[in-house]
Amino acid sequence: MTDIDIASLTKQTESVSSEFEKDFAATSNDLSHKAIEDVRIKYLGRKGLFTAISEQMRSVKKEDRPEAGKLLNSVKKNMESKLDQLRTLEKKAALTAQLDAKAYDVSLPVAQTAGSLHPVTLMRRTLLKEFRNLGFIVYDGPEMDLEDYNFSALNFKDDHPARDMQDTFFVKDLEKTVLRTHTSNIQIHAMRNERPPMRVVAPGRTYRCDSDLTHTPMFHQIEGFIIDQNISMADMKGVIDTFLKAVFGTDLETRLRPSYFPFVEPGGEVDLQCVACRGKGCRICSHTGWLEIGGLGMIHPNVFEAVDLDSERYTGFAFGFGIDRIAMLKYGLSDLRQLFEGDQAFLSQFPVN
Ligand code: PHE
Protein backbone atom coordinates (compact mmCIF):
# COMPACT_ATOMS: atom_id res chain seq x y z
CA MET A 1 0.00 0.00 0.00
CA THR A 2 1.31 3.42 -0.91
CA ASP A 3 1.95 5.88 1.83
CA ILE A 4 -0.36 8.88 2.05
CA ASP A 5 1.10 12.24 2.92
CA ILE A 6 -0.42 14.96 5.00
CA ALA A 7 -1.08 17.22 2.03
CA SER A 8 -3.34 14.69 0.35
CA LEU A 9 -5.17 13.99 3.61
CA THR A 10 -5.72 17.70 4.20
CA LYS A 11 -7.12 18.12 0.72
CA GLN A 12 -9.58 15.29 1.22
CA THR A 13 -10.76 16.57 4.60
CA GLU A 14 -11.21 20.08 3.22
CA SER A 15 -13.45 18.84 0.47
CA VAL A 16 -15.52 16.61 2.86
CA SER A 17 -15.72 19.44 5.39
CA SER A 18 -17.01 21.94 2.88
CA GLU A 19 -19.66 19.46 1.74
CA PHE A 20 -20.57 18.91 5.39
CA GLU A 21 -20.99 22.68 5.93
CA LYS A 22 -23.43 22.84 3.02
CA ASP A 23 -25.47 19.95 4.43
CA PHE A 24 -25.34 21.57 7.86
CA ALA A 25 -26.74 24.85 6.49
CA ALA A 26 -29.48 23.06 4.52
CA THR A 27 -30.53 20.95 7.52
CA SER A 28 -30.62 24.03 9.78
CA ASN A 29 -33.39 25.32 7.57
CA ASP A 30 -35.26 22.04 7.43
CA LEU A 31 -34.98 20.47 10.86
CA SER A 32 -36.18 16.97 11.60
CA HIS A 33 -34.80 14.04 13.53
CA LYS A 34 -34.45 12.08 10.30
CA ALA A 35 -32.65 14.83 8.39
CA ILE A 36 -30.10 15.18 11.18
CA GLU A 37 -29.57 11.42 11.36
CA ASP A 38 -29.05 11.33 7.59
CA VAL A 39 -26.25 13.88 7.86
CA ARG A 40 -24.62 11.99 10.71
CA ILE A 41 -24.72 8.73 8.77
CA LYS A 42 -23.45 10.38 5.57
CA TYR A 43 -20.27 11.58 7.32
CA LEU A 44 -19.74 9.63 10.52
CA GLY A 45 -21.62 6.40 9.83
CA ARG A 46 -19.84 3.11 9.25
CA LYS A 47 -19.51 3.88 5.53
CA GLY A 48 -19.46 7.63 6.01
CA LEU A 49 -17.29 10.08 4.07
CA PHE A 50 -15.28 11.11 7.11
CA THR A 51 -15.02 7.55 8.33
CA ALA A 52 -13.48 6.60 4.97
CA ILE A 53 -10.80 9.28 5.36
CA SER A 54 -9.97 8.30 8.93
CA GLU A 55 -9.54 4.71 7.80
CA GLN A 56 -6.55 5.91 5.75
CA MET A 57 -4.73 6.76 8.97
CA ARG A 58 -3.02 3.37 8.81
CA SER A 59 -1.38 4.32 5.51
CA VAL A 60 -0.17 7.76 6.52
CA LYS A 61 3.58 8.18 6.64
CA LYS A 62 4.93 7.60 10.09
CA GLU A 63 6.34 11.13 10.54
CA ASP A 64 3.02 12.69 9.42
CA ARG A 65 0.86 10.64 11.78
CA PRO A 66 0.74 13.00 14.80
CA GLU A 67 -0.32 15.88 12.61
CA ALA A 68 -2.82 13.74 10.70
CA GLY A 69 -4.33 12.57 14.00
CA LYS A 70 -4.79 16.16 15.17
CA LEU A 71 -6.37 17.15 11.88
CA LEU A 72 -8.86 14.30 11.82
CA ASN A 73 -9.73 14.83 15.48
CA SER A 74 -10.54 18.47 15.01
CA VAL A 75 -12.65 17.80 11.91
CA LYS A 76 -14.59 15.09 13.73
CA LYS A 77 -15.14 17.28 16.78
CA ASN A 78 -16.45 20.07 14.60
CA MET A 79 -18.91 17.72 12.89
CA GLU A 80 -20.13 16.28 16.18
CA SER A 81 -20.63 19.65 17.78
CA LYS A 82 -22.56 20.91 14.75
CA LEU A 83 -24.78 17.82 14.81
CA ASP A 84 -25.45 18.59 18.49
CA GLN A 85 -26.39 22.15 17.57
CA LEU A 86 -28.88 20.78 15.05
CA ARG A 87 -30.38 18.45 17.66
CA THR A 88 -30.84 21.33 20.11
CA LEU A 89 -32.46 23.47 17.43
CA GLU A 90 -34.74 20.60 16.49
CA LYS A 91 -35.91 20.15 20.12
CA LYS A 92 -36.63 23.85 20.44
CA ALA A 93 -38.58 23.87 17.18
CA ALA A 94 -40.63 20.84 18.30
CA LEU A 95 -41.49 22.54 21.60
CA THR A 96 -42.50 25.76 19.87
CA ALA A 97 -44.70 23.80 17.47
CA GLN A 98 -46.31 21.99 20.41
CA LEU A 99 -47.00 25.21 22.28
CA ASP A 100 -48.40 26.86 19.17
CA ALA A 101 -50.69 23.92 18.49
CA LYS A 102 -52.27 24.08 21.96
CA ALA A 103 -53.04 27.56 23.13
CA TYR A 104 -52.62 28.03 26.86
CA ASP A 105 -54.45 30.92 28.42
CA VAL A 106 -52.05 31.84 31.20
CA SER A 107 -54.51 34.41 32.48
CA LEU A 108 -57.07 31.72 33.52
CA PRO A 109 -57.76 31.64 37.28
CA VAL A 110 -55.65 28.98 39.01
CA ALA A 111 -58.69 27.11 40.37
CA GLN A 112 -59.71 26.08 36.85
CA THR A 113 -56.50 24.20 36.19
CA ALA A 114 -55.77 22.93 39.71
CA GLY A 115 -57.29 19.43 39.50
CA SER A 116 -60.40 18.29 41.34
CA LEU A 117 -61.52 17.30 44.81
CA HIS A 118 -62.34 13.73 45.77
CA PRO A 119 -66.12 13.13 45.86
CA VAL A 120 -65.90 12.08 49.52
CA THR A 121 -64.11 15.36 50.35
CA LEU A 122 -66.73 17.33 48.44
CA MET A 123 -69.50 15.49 50.27
CA ARG A 124 -67.88 15.88 53.69
CA ARG A 125 -67.51 19.63 53.10
CA THR A 126 -71.15 19.94 52.01
CA LEU A 127 -72.38 18.03 55.06
CA LEU A 128 -70.24 19.99 57.51
CA LYS A 129 -71.37 23.27 56.00
CA GLU A 130 -75.01 22.34 56.52
CA PHE A 131 -74.41 21.20 60.10
CA ARG A 132 -72.46 24.37 60.92
CA ASN A 133 -75.45 26.33 59.65
CA LEU A 134 -77.54 24.40 62.17
CA GLY A 135 -75.20 25.44 65.00
CA PHE A 136 -73.08 22.26 65.32
CA ILE A 137 -69.38 22.31 66.18
CA VAL A 138 -66.99 19.84 64.48
CA TYR A 139 -65.19 17.27 66.61
CA ASP A 140 -62.45 14.75 65.79
CA GLY A 141 -61.48 11.45 67.39
CA PRO A 142 -59.05 8.53 66.99
CA GLU A 143 -59.42 5.93 64.23
CA MET A 144 -57.67 3.33 66.39
CA ASP A 145 -59.36 3.28 69.75
CA LEU A 146 -59.95 1.31 72.93
CA GLU A 147 -62.87 -1.10 72.94
CA ASP A 148 -64.28 0.98 75.77
CA TYR A 149 -64.92 3.95 73.45
CA ASN A 150 -65.96 1.89 70.44
CA PHE A 151 -68.16 -0.60 72.35
CA SER A 152 -68.40 -0.75 76.17
CA ALA A 153 -69.25 2.88 76.95
CA LEU A 154 -71.75 2.71 74.08
CA ASN A 155 -73.66 0.02 75.98
CA PHE A 156 -72.37 -2.99 74.02
CA LYS A 157 -72.18 -5.71 76.70
CA ASP A 158 -68.91 -7.71 76.83
CA ASP A 159 -70.41 -10.76 75.20
CA HIS A 160 -72.78 -8.82 73.00
CA PRO A 161 -73.02 -10.39 69.53
CA ALA A 162 -73.01 -6.88 68.05
CA ARG A 163 -69.24 -6.83 68.61
CA ASP A 164 -68.98 -9.61 66.04
CA MET A 165 -71.86 -8.21 64.02
CA GLN A 166 -69.75 -5.18 63.16
CA ASP A 167 -66.95 -7.31 61.64
CA THR A 168 -64.36 -5.68 63.84
CA PHE A 169 -60.65 -5.39 62.99
CA PHE A 170 -58.80 -6.02 66.25
CA VAL A 171 -55.31 -4.57 66.54
CA LYS A 172 -52.65 -7.27 66.92
CA ASP A 173 -50.54 -7.18 70.10
CA LEU A 174 -52.49 -4.23 71.53
CA GLU A 175 -54.97 -5.35 74.11
CA LYS A 176 -58.55 -4.10 73.87
CA THR A 177 -57.72 -1.95 70.83
CA VAL A 178 -59.71 -1.87 67.59
CA LEU A 179 -59.94 0.08 64.37
CA ARG A 180 -63.14 1.95 65.09
CA THR A 181 -66.15 0.29 63.50
CA HIS A 182 -68.14 3.51 63.54
CA THR A 183 -67.69 7.18 64.41
CA SER A 184 -69.85 6.69 67.53
CA ASN A 185 -66.61 6.44 69.57
CA ILE A 186 -66.39 10.23 69.16
CA GLN A 187 -69.66 10.56 71.11
CA ILE A 188 -67.85 9.17 74.15
CA HIS A 189 -64.70 11.26 73.68
CA ALA A 190 -66.74 14.44 73.26
CA MET A 191 -69.09 13.67 76.15
CA ARG A 192 -66.17 12.99 78.49
CA ASN A 193 -64.47 16.26 77.50
CA GLU A 194 -67.38 18.70 77.33
CA ARG A 195 -70.60 19.32 79.25
CA PRO A 196 -74.08 20.01 77.81
CA PRO A 197 -75.57 21.79 76.06
CA MET A 198 -73.71 20.15 73.18
CA ARG A 199 -74.23 20.11 69.43
CA VAL A 200 -71.48 18.08 67.83
CA VAL A 201 -70.73 16.55 64.41
CA ALA A 202 -67.72 14.37 63.72
CA PRO A 203 -66.75 12.99 60.29
CA GLY A 204 -64.10 10.32 59.87
CA ARG A 205 -62.81 7.03 58.52
CA THR A 206 -64.24 3.78 59.87
CA TYR A 207 -63.26 0.14 59.36
CA ARG A 208 -65.07 -3.18 59.01
CA CYS A 209 -63.98 -6.48 57.54
CA ASP A 210 -66.38 -6.32 54.60
CA SER A 211 -66.10 -5.85 50.81
CA ASP A 212 -68.66 -5.90 47.99
CA LEU A 213 -70.62 -3.52 45.69
CA THR A 214 -71.87 -1.40 48.57
CA HIS A 215 -69.19 -2.07 51.22
CA THR A 216 -65.46 -1.27 51.44
CA PRO A 217 -63.26 -2.27 54.43
CA MET A 218 -62.54 1.43 54.97
CA PHE A 219 -65.41 3.83 54.66
CA HIS A 220 -66.54 7.21 55.99
CA GLN A 221 -69.20 8.15 58.48
CA ILE A 222 -70.43 11.35 59.95
CA GLU A 223 -71.61 11.19 63.54
CA GLY A 224 -73.65 13.83 65.27
CA PHE A 225 -75.54 14.42 68.48
CA ILE A 226 -77.34 17.04 70.50
CA ILE A 227 -77.58 16.93 74.30
CA ASP A 228 -79.55 19.41 76.37
CA GLN A 229 -82.55 19.52 78.70
CA ASN A 230 -85.84 18.55 77.06
CA ILE A 231 -84.49 17.30 73.75
CA SER A 232 -87.15 15.12 72.14
CA MET A 233 -87.67 12.88 69.13
CA ALA A 234 -89.44 15.79 67.45
CA ASP A 235 -86.15 17.74 67.61
CA MET A 236 -84.38 14.75 66.12
CA LYS A 237 -86.81 14.44 63.24
CA GLY A 238 -86.72 18.20 62.61
CA VAL A 239 -82.92 18.41 62.50
CA ILE A 240 -82.48 15.34 60.28
CA ASP A 241 -85.21 16.46 57.90
CA THR A 242 -83.82 20.00 57.62
CA PHE A 243 -80.34 18.64 57.05
CA LEU A 244 -81.32 16.13 54.35
CA LYS A 245 -83.43 18.71 52.53
CA ALA A 246 -80.49 21.13 52.55
CA VAL A 247 -78.28 18.50 50.90
CA PHE A 248 -80.72 16.80 48.51
CA GLY A 249 -83.39 19.44 47.92
CA THR A 250 -86.77 20.11 49.47
CA ASP A 251 -88.87 17.85 47.27
CA LEU A 252 -87.60 14.54 48.73
CA GLU A 253 -89.33 13.03 51.76
CA THR A 254 -87.53 11.43 54.70
CA ARG A 255 -88.88 8.72 56.99
CA LEU A 256 -87.82 7.05 60.24
CA ARG A 257 -88.02 3.30 60.78
CA PRO A 258 -87.53 1.49 64.11
CA SER A 259 -84.21 -0.36 64.41
CA TYR A 260 -81.78 -1.51 67.09
CA PHE A 261 -78.45 -0.03 68.21
CA PRO A 262 -77.31 -0.66 71.83
CA PHE A 263 -76.50 3.02 72.45
CA VAL A 264 -79.91 4.47 71.55
CA GLU A 265 -83.45 3.87 72.79
CA PRO A 266 -85.65 4.13 70.88
CA GLY A 267 -83.44 3.55 67.87
CA GLY A 268 -84.17 3.83 64.22
CA GLU A 269 -82.93 4.16 60.71
CA VAL A 270 -83.52 7.12 58.46
CA ASP A 271 -84.52 6.67 54.83
CA LEU A 272 -84.52 9.24 52.05
CA GLN A 273 -86.91 9.02 49.11
CA CYS A 274 -84.92 7.51 46.23
CA VAL A 275 -83.01 10.27 44.41
CA ALA A 276 -83.18 8.31 41.14
CA CYS A 277 -86.91 7.49 40.87
CA ARG A 278 -88.27 9.98 43.43
CA GLY A 279 -90.18 7.28 45.32
CA LYS A 280 -91.67 5.33 42.41
CA GLY A 281 -89.39 2.34 42.84
CA CYS A 282 -86.37 1.41 40.69
CA ARG A 283 -83.29 -0.81 40.61
CA ILE A 284 -81.23 1.55 42.76
CA CYS A 285 -83.70 1.46 45.67
CA SER A 286 -84.57 -2.26 45.16
CA HIS A 287 -88.07 -1.11 44.11
CA THR A 288 -88.90 0.20 47.58
CA GLY A 289 -88.78 3.92 46.68
CA TRP A 290 -86.49 4.56 49.70
CA LEU A 291 -82.75 4.65 50.36
CA GLU A 292 -81.14 4.01 53.72
CA ILE A 293 -78.91 6.86 54.94
CA GLY A 294 -77.94 5.74 58.44
CA GLY A 295 -78.89 5.05 62.05
CA LEU A 296 -80.17 7.34 64.76
CA GLY A 297 -82.02 7.41 68.06
CA MET A 298 -82.41 8.91 71.53
CA ILE A 299 -79.18 8.49 73.53
CA HIS A 300 -79.46 5.52 75.93
CA PRO A 301 -79.33 6.36 79.68
CA ASN A 302 -76.50 3.81 80.06
CA VAL A 303 -74.35 5.95 77.72
CA PHE A 304 -74.96 9.02 79.88
CA GLU A 305 -73.95 6.95 82.90
CA ALA A 306 -70.72 5.80 81.23
CA VAL A 307 -69.70 9.45 80.74
CA ASP A 308 -70.99 10.69 84.11
CA LEU A 309 -73.94 12.69 82.86
CA ASP A 310 -77.23 12.80 84.75
CA SER A 311 -79.74 10.96 82.57
CA GLU A 312 -82.61 12.37 84.62
CA ARG A 313 -81.60 15.87 83.74
CA TYR A 314 -80.35 15.53 80.16
CA THR A 315 -81.70 13.93 77.04
CA GLY A 316 -80.31 13.87 73.54
CA PHE A 317 -80.30 12.22 70.19
CA ALA A 318 -77.48 10.84 68.05
CA PHE A 319 -77.12 9.84 64.42
CA GLY A 320 -74.50 8.25 62.21
CA PHE A 321 -74.62 8.46 58.40
CA GLY A 322 -72.42 6.92 55.73
CA ILE A 323 -70.68 9.74 53.82
CA ASP A 324 -69.70 7.47 50.91
CA ARG A 325 -73.29 6.26 50.68
CA ILE A 326 -74.58 9.83 50.52
CA ALA A 327 -71.91 10.76 47.93
CA MET A 328 -72.98 7.74 45.85
CA LEU A 329 -76.61 8.91 45.89
CA LYS A 330 -75.80 12.56 45.30
CA TYR A 331 -73.39 11.90 42.38
CA GLY A 332 -75.24 8.88 40.96
CA LEU A 333 -72.38 6.35 41.32
CA SER A 334 -73.06 2.68 40.64
CA ASP A 335 -70.22 1.10 42.65
CA LEU A 336 -68.95 2.31 46.01
CA ARG A 337 -65.50 0.88 45.31
CA GLN A 338 -64.95 3.44 42.51
CA LEU A 339 -64.37 5.95 45.29
CA PHE A 340 -61.21 4.24 46.48
CA GLU A 341 -59.52 2.96 43.31
CA GLY A 342 -57.65 6.20 42.59
CA ASP A 343 -58.68 6.22 38.91
CA GLN A 344 -57.77 9.69 37.57
CA ALA A 345 -60.27 9.54 34.70
CA PHE A 346 -63.07 8.96 37.22
CA LEU A 347 -61.84 11.42 39.85
CA SER A 348 -61.10 14.31 37.49
CA GLN A 349 -64.80 14.58 36.61
CA PHE A 350 -65.51 16.16 39.96
CA PRO A 351 -65.34 19.89 40.54
CA VAL A 352 -62.56 21.77 42.33
CA ASN A 353 -64.80 22.99 45.10
N1 PHE B 1 -72.96 3.80 64.75
C2 PHE B 1 -74.08 3.24 64.04
C3 PHE B 1 -73.53 2.39 62.88
O4 PHE B 1 -72.47 2.58 62.46
C5 PHE B 1 -75.00 4.31 63.50
C6 PHE B 1 -75.68 5.08 64.58
C7 PHE B 1 -75.14 6.24 65.09
C8 PHE B 1 -76.91 4.66 65.06
C9 PHE B 1 -75.78 6.98 66.07
C10 PHE B 1 -77.56 5.35 66.04
C11 PHE B 1 -77.00 6.53 66.52
O12 PHE B 1 -74.16 1.50 62.37
pLDDT for the residue 345: 86
The dihedral over CA atoms of 41, 21, 77, 89, expressed in degrees to the nearest 10, equals -80
pLDDT for the residue 260: 94
Work out which ligand 1 atom sits closest to the CA atom of 187.
Answer: 9
Residue-wise pLDDT tens digits, 279-304: 898 887 889 999 889 999 999 999 99
- Contact between 17 and 78 under an 8 Å Cβ cutoff? The reply is yes
Residue nearest to atom 7 of ligand 1 (CA): 320
Name, of 109-118, 164-173, 188-197, 326-335, the range with top average pLDDT.
Answer: 188-197
Which amino acid, residue 50? F
Q: Which residues contact 109 (CB under 8 A, 6 or more apart)?
A: none
Distance 341 CA to ligand 1 centre (A): 26
Work out which ligand 1 atom sits closest to the CA atom of 183.
Answer: 1
Q: Does domain 119-347 have CATH number 3.30.930.10?
A: yes
Pairwise CA distance, residues 286 & 197, whole Å? 40
Residue nearest to atom 4 of ligand 1 (CA): 182
Among 178, 261, 324, which is best to mutate for testing ligand 1, by the most ligand atoms less than 8 A from CB?
Answer: 261
SS3 content of the chain, % helix, strand, coil (to 5): 45, 20, 35
Work out which ligand 1 atom sits closest to the CA atom of 267.
Answer: 10
- What band does 109 get if pLDDT is binned at 50, 70 and 90? confident
Work out which ligand 1 atom sits closest to the CA atom of 206.
Answer: 4
Range 15-30 average pLDDT: 94
The domain ranges of the chain are 6-100, 119-347
Residue-wise pLDDT tens digits, 36-80: 999 999 999 999 999 999 998 888 888 889 999 999 999 999 999
Q: Is residue 244 exposed (0-12), middle (13-18) or buried (19+ Cβ within 10 Å)?
A: buried
Residue nearest to atom 9 of ligand 1 (CA): 319
Answer yes or no: is pLDDT of 216 > 90: no
Pairwise CA distance, residues 317 & 197, whole Å? 12
User: Which one is predicted more confidently, 192 or 350?
Assistant: 192
- What band does 166 get if pLDDT is binned at 50, 70 and 90? low
Distance 319 CA to ligand 1 centre (A): 6
Radius of gyration of the chain (CA): 38
> Residues near ligand 1 with C-beta < 6 Å?
182, 184, 261, 264, 267, 294-297, 318-320
Work out which ligand 1 atom sits closest to the CA atom of 225.
Answer: 9
